[in-house]
Structure 1
Amino acid sequence: MEKYSLKTGLREQTILKDVYFTPPFNLVEVRENKKNPLLEMMVMSSSPGILNDDFYDINIEVIDGSSLNLQTQSYQRIFVSEKGTNQQMHISVGDRAYFSHVPHPVVPHKGARYTAKSTIHLKNNSTLLWGEILTCGRKYMGEGELFQFKKHHAITEIYQEDVLIFKDNLYIVPEEINLKEFGQYEEYTHQGSLFFIAPATDVTERMDNISNRLSKEEGISYGISKLLDNAYVLRILGNEGQQLYKLFTEIRLAEDKLINQSVSIN
């Protein structure tokens, strides 16, 4: 089992209090301005991707009043895996705490089997921005690599005060369904989802700003829905992983900036 864990601390601004990792992982701080309240960490890996029978175990604790952005180094590749590959993430975000995570797209290679479970626990005053992007595989290797993975099953559960407020169950077995059909991917090859929740915040203005921005973007289809008065979910279909990642990162950077500003003022 390969694993990493981290826990934030507070000393005027957010600091890294506890960290642990096993190969192939490494965790490094990438916060350029050390005076910024937001702690920015990057997950680095010496492995080319998730290999057959790998099991990634990830634990993140963002304590009360702290703020963390967790970044990835590169695309997450999932290789041919007869026994399958697995990943589990357990995340807790404390009272008045902030956590943002928009990882690079997942690229399942031909023959890949992948199962992931992400469980996130929030307090009533927690803020969360959580993104996921799935590609069709190695698109530029030709038609023989498009949706040729065996299985992709990713479950995300988000709890607020132990009450389930959002569940995303993405289950794709290309051999069992025509993903080009109406109501599926149709002419697209990539899909992404982004979840946001913030305390005492009406997300209507944020949703309008995002919709206005995406309406000018070519080559995508999108939908954005209000789940609660203070929460929305955004879904995008497109044909370029980098395009979706760039759009999600724009949203993430805007929220990260607001956190730096609000914490500095307080």
Structure 2
Amino acid sequence: MERYSLTTGLREQTILKDVYFTAPFNLVEVRENKKNQLLEMMVMSSSPGLLNDDCYDINIEVIDGSALNLQTQSYQRIFVSEKGTNQNMKVSVGESAYFSHVPHPVVPHKGAKYTAKTTIHLKKSSTLLWGEILTCGRKYMAEGEQFQFKKHHAITEIYQEGIMIFKDNLYIVPKEINLEEFGQYEGFTHQGSLFFVTPQIDVAQRMEHISKRLSKEEGITFGISKVMDNAYALRVLGNEAEQLYKLFTQIRKEEDNAINQTLGIN
């Protein structure tokens, strides 16, 4: 089992208190302005991706009053896997704490079989920005690997004070599902989901801002819904992984900057 864990700490700003990782992982700080409250960490890997029978175990703890952005180094490739590959991720975000994570897109190769479970626990005063992007595979391969993976099953559960407020159950078996159908991909090849929750703030203005921006974007379709007064869920369909990743990263950077300003550090 390959694993990494990270726990934040607090001094004048958020620091890295505890970190542990096994091969192929390495975690490094990439915060350029050391005065920023937000701790920016990057997960690096010496592996080309998830290989047959790989199992990733990830634990993140963002303590009370701290702020963390967790980044990835590159696209997550999932190789052909007869036994399958797995990832289990647990995240805890404390009182008045902030966590943002918009990883690079997942690219399942031909024959890949992948299962992932993510569980996130929040407090009432926690802020979370969580994104995921799934591609159809190696779309531009000469042989064509569009939706040639065996299975992709990713479950994300988000709890606030022990009560589930959001669940995303993405189950795709291309041989069993017609992805061209209405309610499925409808001609698109990539999909991304983004969830945001923040305490005591109506997200209507944020949703309007995102809708206006995305409505000007060519080659995508999207839907955004208010989950609660202080939470929204965004789903985007497109044909280019980099386009979706850039859109989500823009939103993430805006929220990252906002948390620094809120905490009075620029």
Q: TM-score band (shorter)?
A: over 0.9
Which moves more between the two structures, 189-198 or 140-149? Answer: 140-149
What are the ranges of 5 or more consecutive residues in structure 1 without an aligned counterpart?
none
TM-score scaled by length of structure 2: 0.99
3-state SS of paired residue (1:58) = strand
Partners of 2:181 and 2:100 in 1: how far apart? 34
**Residue deviations 1:203-234 (CA, integer Å, cap 9, x gap):** 00000000000000000000000000000000
* Identical pairs, percent: 81
Partners of 1:216 and 1:144 in 2: how far apart? 30
Within the alignment, does 1:19 sit opposite 2:14 as a pair? no
- Corresponding position of 1:2: 2
Partners of 1:182 and 1:38 in 2: how far apart? 41
TM-score scaled by length of structure 1: 0.99
**Residue deviations 1:133-185 (CA, integer Å, cap 9, x gap):** 00000001046300000000000000000000100000000000111122211
Partners of 2:31 and 2:44 in 1: how far apart? 15
3-state SS of paired residue (2:175) = helix
- Corresponding position of 1:51: 51
Which amino acid counterpart does residue 59 of structure 1 have in structure 2? N
Partners of 1:81 and 1:247 in 2: how far apart? 31
Task: For residue 29 of structure 1, report the CA deviation from its aligned partner.
Answer: 0.1
- Corresponding position of 2:234: 234
Partners of 1:19 and 1:83 in 2: how far apart? 30
Partners of 2:97 and 2:86 in 1: how far apart? 28
- Corresponding position of 2:76: 76
- Corresponding position of 2:206: 206
Partners of 1:78 and 1:144 in 2: how far apart? 16
- Corresponding position of 1:154: 154
Within the alignment, does 1:184 sit opposite 2:184 as a pair? yes
- Corresponding position of 2:134: 134
Please identify runs of 4+ aligned residues in structure 1 that moved more than 6 A. none
Which moves more between the two structures, 245-254 or 177-186? Answer: 177-186
- Corresponding position of 1:172: 172
Which amino acid counterpart does residue 87 of structure 2 have in structure 1? Q
Whether contact under 8 Å (2:138, 2:144) holds in the other structure is no
3-state SS of paired residue (1:145) = coil
Partners of 1:263 and 1:182 in 2: how far apart? 45
Which amino acid counterpart does residue 9 of structure 2 have in structure 1? G
Partners of 1:24 and 1:171 in 2: how far apart? 27
Task: Give the count of matched residue pairs.
Answer: 266
Partners of 1:158 and 1:34 in 2: how far apart? 30
RMSD: 1.0
- Corresponding position of 1:86: 86
Bigger fraction of residues in helix: 1
